[in-house]
Structure 1
Amino acid sequence: MRYEALNKEIINLIGGKDNIQGVAHCVTRLRLSLKDKTKADVEAIKNLDGVIDVVSNDVAFQIIIGTHVTDVYTEFMEMIGLGEDNETVSDEKLTLKKIPMAILSVISESMTSIVEVLIAAGMIAGFLSILSLTGLLSAESPTYQIMETLKTSVFTFLPVFLAASSARRLKVNPYVAMVLATAAMSNNINGAEGLSIFGYSLPTIEYANTFIPILLGVWLLSVVTKYLEKFIPKSVQMFFVPALSLMIVFPIMLIAFGPIGMWIGSGLNWLFDVLAQNVGYWIVVSLYAATQPFLIVLGAANFTFPIIVNFFTELGFDPIFTPAATISDIAVCGAIIGYLLKTKNKKEKDTFASIGFSALMGVTEPAVFGVFLKYRKPFIAVIVGGGIGGLIAGLAGVKGMTMAWGLAGLPAFLAGGTANFVWMIIACIVSFILAAAVAYGLGIPSEGQGEEKDESKDDRLVNSTFTSNQVFLSKVSSGKIVELSTVSDKAFASEALGKGYALIPDIDNQDILSPTTGEVTVVFPTKHAYGIKTKEGVEVLVHIGIDTVNLEGEGFESHVEVGDQISVGDKLATVDYQLLDSKGFDSTIMVIVTNTADFLDIVFLEDQLNDDIALTIFI
């Protein structure tokens, strides 16, 4: 099990197995329903290796893992002793205020569970469009027709997929739920005219073109099943409960839920038709393309799925969200590329390249949670780039022909015609270039935003805080900065005590200076180690030499006491390096952030633009 250690940590930090009520996952997120969210240590989970971020609010508790979340989810389910049939939504009491969010949550998670097949349909559509356009495969050929059927079957039998996924969310046998869907889609029911049941005339409904009746049907199925199980002896439940549940629920679905679904679908179509006739889809396309990263942060982006599916089933295309989502993804990629071109740090370049490619392919969570929340300014870049790109697509009437996002989904727009594809490409290029330009122009907060230096303090920084979300630690002495991993002491080299940097001092300069501004919290009796706490809560340990505690203070002179307020560049201590060398002690100085887990990231500046700065702490 590759992710056993990660899952053990997650289970422990969310309050243990007993605090779990339901588990699901989407493309990048592990979605949990917890009995008591207050038991979850959100900050500790965020700092786990393998976790990008955590979204915890009234809507959802989501742990962002990455595109390998399926593997993590599979092992997670094994470790907590649940199979897919045991997944469920929270059973907590719902207030009137929470009911709408609970409904949207069930719908969203039901859609999310089948997103892979929806994306697959989109990719197949894109491949077929390319093959047809290039003449490699005729649209009239049997091969094309077979592949086209593979694509269209996803939407033709969408109610069956939704029956299975919603059944798992609502803790009911998915195979019984699928019977409701297959019966509704049979030739005797689907689109049939003149039907009646118990003397009641049924309207003609295309159940293959609507998803609401089956979702309502599965919900009622879960209620009826639980009710019957209370009264029917367990020894005969297998014979009577499924049959009686179906015989009760199916007529109600045909009489009530079918018309309700038809009315809701027609209502949505009417609403968007009014919007199109009086304002135009363009404003919604533009707004969504500009703001999708904010919805991702809130964990609410998937709430558009029901509307998208309704568009496809009713109109045959999506005039808003599929184009807007792709344009927004491309804008996110553009913002990251802007930072890639801006930074001079090799580590950051590698990071930006990796998450930029992920965003280009339609998976933006690593970018949003790994970069956008850290630097904030990329949100502005996407608002500008995505908004204008969405405006172009909206005014041009670009249509999404199937559910697919990112670069790989662009060929699917060919199914809407050459003009549809060309305008989509133009919108994406504009969004990419503008977002990249804005991100590049705004710059990375950690670069070039330092405050004035105080020449009277050995030309060192007088304030370690450059921006609202970053703290910098400066060098404690003249000498060579090296990574902790090179230190001979394993406790420091392994970062067991926290992340930081090491310095091989210039023995001609015997003064040890404070790397930050804050309060002195620790002065070891042997005067070889000092603790400082900044106003941001960063706890810094300055440890002079290796095993120098054995000198019992010999060769060290302290200039501070516990409780002193100290600024960057103030003297902490003076060291007799000749004495340390004569007694065989390593004089390397370690500067450690002892509460490393409390912060988003701590970056060692190997390629220093400012020789004073050795470490960046992202709050």
Structure 2
Amino acid sequence: MGKFENDAKALLEAIGGKENVSAVTHCATRMRFVLGDPAKADVKSIETIPSVKGTFTNAGQFQVIIGNDVPVFYNDFTAVSGIEGVSKEAAKSAAKSHQNPIQRVMTMLAEIFTPIIPAIIVGGLILGFRNVLEGVQMEWLGQKVVDGVKQVTSSGQPVYNTIVDVSQFWSGVNSFLWLPGEAIFHYLPVGIVWSVSRKMGTSQILGIVLGICLISPNQLLNAYNVASTSHAEIMKDWVWDFGYFQIQKIGYQAQVIPALLAGLALSYLEIFWRKRIPEVVSMIFVPFLSLIPALILAHTVLGPIGWTIGQWISTIVLAGLTGSFKWLFGAIFGALYAPLVITGLHHMTNAIDTQLIADAGGTALWPMIALSNIAQGSAVLSYYWMNRRDEREAQIALPAAISAYLGVTEPALFGVNVKYVYPFVAGMIGSGIAGLLSTTFNVTANAIGIGGLPGILSIQAKYMGIFALLMLVAIVVPFALTMIFRKMGLFTKAEDETVKSPQVEAIAEAQEAAQVEKGTIVEVVSPLTGQARALSTAVDPVFAQGVMGSGLVIDPSEGELLAPVEGVVSVLFPTKHAIGLVTDQGLEMLMHIGMDTVNLDGQHFTAHVKQGDRVRVGQSLISFDIEAIKAAGFPTETPVIVTNQNDFQLDIPENLPMDVKAGQALLSTSKI
């Protein structure tokens, strides 16, 4: 029996059975359902299942939060339900209807990289640690000596030892850690092509085989060695010679675009042949007719296109660093380096750095790369800080931030920043500003080092002070912008449920600050003028049944909502039809003007406060047009409820219904 088999059976029953599930898939922490009738899902029953941590509906999908064990849960669920066949495509179609083209591309990248995030995180930490061991030259370890000769650079600067130079133990550790490091990063195309096949619902083993064919260490020239290998040598030793034509044996280690294109070509070919080849012989012909053409395309068209794009970028970089508008180039390159990492084309900068070091004794390009890594790390650190109470998000964000600060940004980019967009944009802006300043002040590195916080050790001594200030820019600007973008809703994806978390944080912070004794009384005045009724008479059963909390409902006769308590605005809906407050004593209140008025999209509502504002009793919160709302077909009854009724006991008037005036005493609550 599977680990979650019983929970999976309970979930299947609670969502309305197999016949109610049109599709099911999963992401890093959640099961994602497309339900025939969402109303059949029994949310209360679902949330009592031991392995379920919560539920919500977003972008046409009913999502059940499981946590890090979601892949295991998904396997058990598909085993007991037998509905795995079309789940991926159906879920994909549901999501697409709520996304623009840019969001679709970003979502595709995120979904492809989500299954391999754990490996990328581990690889990033390993590579960052290895960079410290072998990449940082330290003066206090002494000058490096080879065959009795002290080593110097081409400009006469001394070359100092690294940790691996002076310690056999750490040299052995460094060598051993390259085993998983190489497997994760050099062989990354294998994971990418496998993940593409998995996402497309095609044969995953064919994806693995094609991925290996892109990086074969025995038959292909390693991608890292292409820049240092002459064309004549490539044409002599690294080609398949078919007599009439030749194909270069070029590997695509750590390359993303060739792997993505090859994986998509393989998947679409397999889908194409599945529809046209009889099932009786499909096992023979479909794999062959899919794999071989995809492999040919990868080594003749898709791969060379990737290298061509890389060469164009290299030429632009070199011209930018030596031209009259290097400050502009610094801003552009600083901002766009992170997108280059996504494509895998950032490896082309190594050849430029090497040439600059040989010609000028240093490189002005590498400092910008280090600053870009720091900026993306700061963006994901800000995301972690805003979601630090969300265990499922924190488990991905914090290791990704550490990895980025050590110079490897893939975990940050694919795990958080690209997925949610606004941290990615914040990081690009921060690194663009830092890049502009770096080229303006001619900051130069002695050599390629660690592309993160320890990178200052590789900067030429006379620029270390300036670089320290630029690092501060790359830390502070993206961190602040990430928070600002989310609070303002800029660059945030519609399906990003974490965008709402500042509301949760405001409440949580108020709860932490509220250290009041049991029995503490908080008086609540009426926020409206009108008739107060029992909450059970509300039109909406969610309120009437007390699902949202305890309280009462008021039929307003005047369109002015006032603050019933002194406190902080913890949530103000964009549509201005509902507002939440939290007092210094920890009392949480919600006032929801009308029923289904969210559909008015803010029409006939005017907010006088914003989220985070402190308000006094009787202060105007929202004005609304009662007659216009009723004319639009919506009732204006307004629930006034305490949402944390487990912490506060309510004393509700017994003589309901009754007329009330805004500002008069209405409820009395006491701390339990």
Q: TM-score, normalised by structure 2?
A: 0.50
CA distance, structure 2, for counterparts of residue 240 and residue 330 of structure 1? 49
User: Which range moved further: 243-252 or 351-360?
Assistant: 351-360
Quote the offset at 1:160 in angstroms: 1.4
Give the corresponding residue for 2:616.
Answer: none
**Please, which of 219, 238, 243 is the counterpart of residue 188 of structure 1?**
219
Alignment of 1:496-507 (within 5 A): none
**Please, which of 325, 347, 364 is the counterpart of residue 376 of structure 2?**
325
User: Which range moved further: 75-84 or 203-212?
Assistant: 75-84
CA distance, structure 2, for counterparts of residue 122 and residue 180 of structure 1? 24
Deviations for 1:231-275, whole angstroms, at most 9, x for unmatched residues? 444344333322332223222322222222222333444555566
Give the corresponding residue for 1:202.
Answer: 247
Give the corresponding residue for 2:27.
Answer: 24
Deviations for 1:51-89, whole angstroms, at most 9, x for unmatched residues? 6998749xxx79796xx8432343245335577997557
Quote the offset at 1:19 in angstroms: 3.9
Closer/same/farther in 2, CA of residues 287 and 414 from structure 1, 3 Å limit: closer
Closer/same/farther in 2, CA of residues 87 and 392 from structure 1, 3 Å limit: farther
Structure 1 position 540 matched with structure 2 position 575: no
Closer/same/farther in 2, CA of residues 39 and 531 from structure 1, 3 Å limit: closer
Alignment of 1:516-535 (within 5 A): 516-517=527-528, 519-522=530-533, 530-532=552-554
Alignment of 1:167-566 (within 5 A): 167-186=197-216, 187-190=218-221, 193-197=238-242, 199-203=244-248, 205-208=250-253, 210-270=255-315, 278=325, 279-280=327-328, 282-284=330-332, 306-307=342-343, 309-312=344-347, 315=350, 318=369, 321-330=372-381, 362=400, 396=443, 410=453, 413=455, 427=470, 429=472, 514-517=525-528, 519-522=530-533, 530-532=552-554, 536=578, 537-538=591-592, 539-541=639-641, 560-561=658-659, 566=661
Please report the RMSD computed on the Cα atoms of aligned residues, expressed in angstroms. Answer: 6.3
Closer/same/farther in 2, CA of residues 155 and 4 from structure 1, 3 Å limit: same
Counterpart of 2:23 in structure 1: which amino acid? I
Q: TM-score, normalised by structure 1?
A: 0.53
**Please, which of 110, 113, 120 is the counterpart of residue 111 of structure 1?**
113
Please tell me whether the aligned partners of residues 33 and 90 of structure 1 are also in contact (alpha carbons under 8 angstroms).
Answer: no
Give the corresponding residue for 1:295.
Answer: none
**Please, which of 77, 80, 86 is the counterpart of residue 79 of structure 1?**
77
- Structure 1 residue matching 2:108: 3-state secondary structure: helix
Percent identity reads 17
Closer/same/farther in 2, CA of residues 94 and 79 from structure 1, 3 Å limit: closer
- Structure 2 residue matching 1:70: 3-state secondary structure: coil
Deviations for 1:26-50, whole angstroms, at most 9, x for unmatched residues? xxx64959599x9699xx99x9894
Alignment of 1:51-66 (within 5 A): 56=59
Please tell me whether the aligned partners of residues 559 and 572 of structure 1 are also in contact (alpha carbons under 8 angstroms).
Answer: no
User: Which protein has greater RCO, CA pairs closer than 8 Å, 6+ apart?
Assistant: 1
CA distance, structure 1, for counterparts of residue 95 and residue 652 of structure 2? 60
Deviations for 1:542-567, whole angstroms, at most 9, x for unmatched residues? 99999999xxx6xx6x7942xx5x32
Give the corresponding residue for 2:126.
Answer: 124
Quote the offset at 1:179 in angstroms: 1.6
- Structure 2 residue matching 1:178: 3-state secondary structure: helix
In structure 1, stretches of 5+ residues that fail to align are: 290-300, 337-347, 365-377, 404-408, 446-467, 474-479, 487-501, 506-511, 574-588, 592-603, 607-619
User: Which range moved further: 104-113 or 419-428?
Assistant: 419-428
Closer/same/farther in 2, CA of residues 359 and 286 from structure 1, 3 Å limit: farther
Quote the offset at 1:16 in angstroms: 8.9
Closer/same/farther in 2, CA of residues 5 and 130 from structure 1, 3 Å limit: same
**Please, which of 157, 166, 170 is the counterpart of residue 196 of structure 2?**
166
Give the corresponding residue for 1:70.
Answer: 68
CA distance, structure 1, for counterparts of residue 399 and residue 305 of structure 2? 37
Closer/same/farther in 2, CA of residues 85 and 215 from structure 1, 3 Å limit: farther
Quote the offset at 1:202 in angstroms: 2.5
How many corresponding residue pairs? 454
Please tell me whether the aligned partners of residues 533 and 658 of structure 2 are also in contact (alpha carbons under 8 angstroms).
Answer: no
CA distance, structure 1, for counterparts of residue 264 and residue 434 of structure 2? 40
Closer/same/farther in 2, CA of residues 244 and 360 from structure 1, 3 Å limit: closer
In structure 2, stretches of 5+ residues that fail to align are: 142-161, 222-233, 352-365, 403-422, 489-501, 508-513, 537-549, 556-560, 562-576, 579-590, 593-638
Closer/same/farther in 2, CA of residues 126 and 39 from structure 1, 3 Å limit: same
Quote the offset at 1:311 in angstroms: 0.7
